[in-house]
Amino acid sequence: MDESTHNHADAAPEQATQSITSSASGTGIRTGAQYLEGLRDDREVWTEGKRIADVTREPSMMRGAQTLASFLDRQDEDTYRDTVTYLDDDGDRCATAYMIPKSKEDIAQRGRAYVQWARWSNGMFGRTPDYKNASLMAFAGATEFLAQGTKGQADFAGNMTTFYKLARKNDKVLTHTLVNPTFNFQQAASGKFSEKVALQVVKETDAGIIVNGARLLATLGPLADEIEVFPSTVLRATEDNIPFAFAFAIPIATPGLKLICRDTYDHGKSHFDAPLSSRYEEMDAVVVFENVFIPWERIFMYGEPHLCNQAFAATNAVVHMMHQVACGKLVKSEFLLGILCSIARASGRDKDLHTKGLIAEVMQMTETIRALLFSAEAQAHEDQHGNFIPLRGPLDTSRNLFPKFYPRMIEILQLIGSSSLMATPAEADFSNELGTDVEQYFQLTNMDSRDRVGLFRLAHDVAISGFGTRQALYERFFFGPPALIASGYYDLYDKDPLIDRVDALLNEA
């Protein structure tokens, strides 16, 4: 490690990162206005060649922030309060995803909360806070795992308990980044990271560590309060990987942390013209750490690749994340199905055998996710930490299937939508000199022109637009490299009884 490295914390390490204890005093859920106010800090966010001064006023991402703010407000509405919140031990109303489940009913309640959160965007705002809350809850419920850490100068388990409380009591919106950029595929596939690009520890002091490098990818990064920087799931337990082995969380506005965003998909269009991208731009960013100081109190794992490698599985964080994801994907599948059925009915194609067959395929995919979710919740059980978890197998099946299901659903929407996905005049065309033409020529047997154009603009935003294409990419990759996930699934599957049955037949006299 380079002792001479310049770092952003040299001047005043204690101020470089917000004190974890001083800010743990909230009382639960926040309003949208409080969330937006919290985003107005010194965060370093870049997009399309410029640094953004205030993400809440930046056209490329402010409507996504406003959408999330409106969801946070709904947490305290009568219709939703009992589903998406619970009273913690202090009597504070907190997000349900923070509730450490102690029964099968708690798992069911968590599922209902996930479904409700997803319904607010029909699954199109993928990274709602309940995803990360679920993971954090699992780590906080399994701190004995973190207590095994022996390196560094921190009480890792205590740090997690305090951070969980900070997040829960202040209704923090979190993002995370788990994956180092690949510099050389062969090197990456052998479980090693490149010193040129990967995030690594470059200095250790009595106050904390200094990290340098990059991570992929933080969805919602510019619109989050805090970022969890957790271990990559492919960290091999070798000496080489010690500088890459850590888990910590810091505010997005930490000095030296830069978010380099992709181009926006919110082009400022009306909700009619761009029903999804005008609402649900959640933004993804590569995260660059330029000698960022991380105080010990913000660190949960350090210098022990074998622990990092087990973390998500041993705490069951991955199971709770899969639960949130399955709920969201069910809602999203139902939404796509709704669009397909509307299109088929509008044109009378709901009488066509071929069309019905294609939509039935989407129905079957949707019902598969529903059945897997039901199976997982119905077989919820106590885990090794004394908490409840849904059964992993069905959820793991769902997370392996959905990256294949979703692109097929989009393909079916394209096959059924065909050229109508291009027959999409703008909202303004209904009131300009084209108005009469548009009213006349865009009608369908069961739908007037305005509704038809609205429906197909929605289908376009799902299946064709930059927003929609990014959604498909997200579904393929956001939970990790599909081949690795499938390989892990194979490893965990109970294969021996099946092999025994084959052996039994072959050995039958």
The answer to whether 31 contacts ligand FAD (rule: CB under 6 A) is: no
Q: CB 424 → ligand FAD: shortest distance, Å?
A: 25
Residues 6+ apart with CB under 8 A from 206: 153
Among 135, 159, 177, 241, binds ligand FAD (CB under 6 A): 177
Residues 6+ apart with CB under 8 A from 247: 228, 229, 230, 231, 299, 300, 301, 302, 308, 311
The answer to whether 483 contacts ligand FAD (rule: CB under 6 A) is: yes
Whichever of 415 and 473 has its CB closer to ligand FAD, that residue is 473
Q: CB 485 → ligand FAD: shortest distance, Å?
A: 9
The answer to whether 277 contacts ligand FAD (rule: CB under 6 A) is: no
Whichever of 308 and 416 has its CB closer to ligand FAD, that residue is 308
The answer to whether 13 contacts ligand FAD (rule: CB under 6 A) is: no
**Separation CA 341–CA 318 (nearest Å):** 34
Buried residues in 216-230 as b, exposed as e (16+ CB within 10 A)? bbbbbbbbbbbbbbb
Count of residues in contact with ligand FAD, rule CB under 6 A: 25
Stretch that binds ligand FAD, among 100-108, 175-183, 248-256, 382-390 (CB under 6 A): 175-183
Among 141, 256, 390, 480, binds ligand FAD (CB under 6 A): 480
Among 20, 202, 218, 317, binds ligand FAD (CB under 6 A): 218
Q: CB 187 → ligand FAD: shortest distance, Å?
A: 8
Could you tell me which of 495, 423, 477 has the C-alpha nearest to residue 453? 423
Among 284, 297, 304, 377, binds ligand FAD (CB under 6 A): 284
Among 374, 430, 477, 489, binds ligand FAD (CB under 6 A): 477
Q: How many CA atoms lie within 13 A of 425 on its CB side?
A: 21
Q: How many CA atoms lie within 13 A of 300 on its CB side?
A: 26
Could you tell me which of 34, 32, 52, 50 has the C-alpha nearest to residue 42? 52
Stretch that binds ligand FAD, among 107-115, 133-141, 180-188, 336-344 (CB under 6 A): 180-188
Could you tell me which of 256, 263, 269 has the C-alpha nearest to residue 284? 263
Phi, psi of 25 (to 5 degrees): -100, 15
Whichever of 99 and 178 has its CB closer to ligand FAD, that residue is 178
296-325: which residues touch ligand FAD (CB under 6 A)?
Answer: none
Among 178, 331, 336, 410, binds ligand FAD (CB under 6 A): 178
Give Cα separations from 335 to 8, 148, 208, 228, 409 (angstroms): 46, 44, 47, 30, 11
Q: Which residues bind ligand FAD (CB under 6 A)?
A: 175-180, 182, 188-189, 216-219, 232, 234, 284, 470, 473-474, 477-478, 480-481, 483-484
